[in-house]
Homo-oligomer: A and B are copies of this chain.
Amino acid sequence: MMIKAGIVGASGYAGEELLRLLAMHSHVKVVAATSRNLAGKKIGSVHINLDGFYPDLTFENIDNNELKKMCDVIFLAVPHGASMDFVPELLNGSTCKIIDLSADYRLKTAEFEKIYGMKHKDPREAVYAIPEVHDVLKEAEKIKNIRLIANPGCFPTGATLAVAPLAKFGVLENVIFDSKSGVTGAGNTPSATSHYPNLTENIIPYKMTAHRHTAEMRQEISRLQPGFDNISFTPHVIPASRGILTTAHVFTAKKYTTEEVKKIYVDFYKDKPFVRIVDGVPSLLAIRGSNFCHIGLEADSKTKRIVIVSAIDNLVKGAAGQAIQNMNILFGLSETEGLWIPGLP
Contacts and interface: CB of A to CB of B under 8 A. Distances in A.
A71 interface: no
A276 interface: yes
Nearest to A184: B197
B183 A276 contact: no
A92 interface: no
B200 A240 contact: yes
B210 A48 contact: no
Interface string A13-34: 0000000100110000000000
Interface string A282-294: 0111111110101
A331 interface: no
Contacts of A78: none
A232 interface: yes
Given A53-B342, A206-B281, A208-B307, 15 more contacts: A49-B290, A49-B345, A178-B178, A178-B247, A180-B203, A184-B197, A197-B285, A200-B201, A201-B241, A203-B240, A204-B283, A205-B307, A208-B296, A239-B239, A249-B249
Interface in A109-150: none
Most buried by B among A195, A239, A242, A297: A195
Most buried by B among A204, A299, A344, A345: A345
A9 to B, nearest CB: 18
A172 to B, nearest CB: 15
A305 interface: yes
Contacts of A49: 285-288, 290, 342-345
Interface of A: 20, 23-24, 45, 48-53, 174, 176, 178, 180, 182-184, 188, 190-192, 194-206, 208-210, 232, 234, 236, 238-243, 245, 247, 249, 251, 273, 276, 278-279, 281, 283-290, 292, 294, 296-301, 303, 305-307, 309, 341-345
Given A176-B249, A195-B190, A239-B240, A288 B209 contact: no
Contacts of A23: 342
26 contacts: A24-B24, A48-B283, A49-B285, A49-B286, A49-B287, A49-B343, A51-B276, A51-B292, A174-B251, A183-B197, A194-B195, A197-B285, A198-B283, A200-B201, A200-B239, A201-B242, A202-B283, A203-B240, A203-B284, A208-B247, A208-B281, A209-B307, A232-B300, A234-B247, A238-B239, A249-B249
Given A238-B238, A309-B205, A195 B196 contact: yes
A241 B200 contact: yes
A97 to B, nearest CB: 25
B205 A278 contact: no
Contacts of A52: 273, 276, 292
B290 A180 contact: no
A206 B309 CA distance: 10
Given A176-B249, A197-B184, A278-B48, A307 B234 contact: yes
